[in-house]
Structure 1
Amino acid sequence: MDHYSFLRELADSWVLILLVLFFVGTIAFAWRPGSRPMHRDAAESIFRNEKSPAREGQEEVE
Structure 2
Amino acid sequence: METTYSILREFAGSWALIAMMLFYISACLYAVRPSAKAANEDAAGIPLRNDTDAHLDAQEPEAKQDG
Q: What TM-score, normalized to structure 1?
A: 0.74
Separation of aligned partners in 2, 1:48 and 1:39 = 18
Moved over 3 A (4+): none
* Higher RCO (CA-CA < 8 Å; seq separation 6+): 1
Rg (Cα) greater in structure: 2
- Structure 1: which 5+ runs fail to align? 58-62
Q: Give the share of equivalent positions with the same residue, in percent.
A: 35
Aligned-residue Cα RMSD (Å) equals: 1.7
Please state whether the residue corresponding to 1:49 is helix, strand or coil: coil
> Structure 2 unaligned runs (5+)?
60-67
1:30 is aligned to 31
TM-score (norm 2): 0.70
Query: Which structure features the higher share of helix residues?
Result: 2
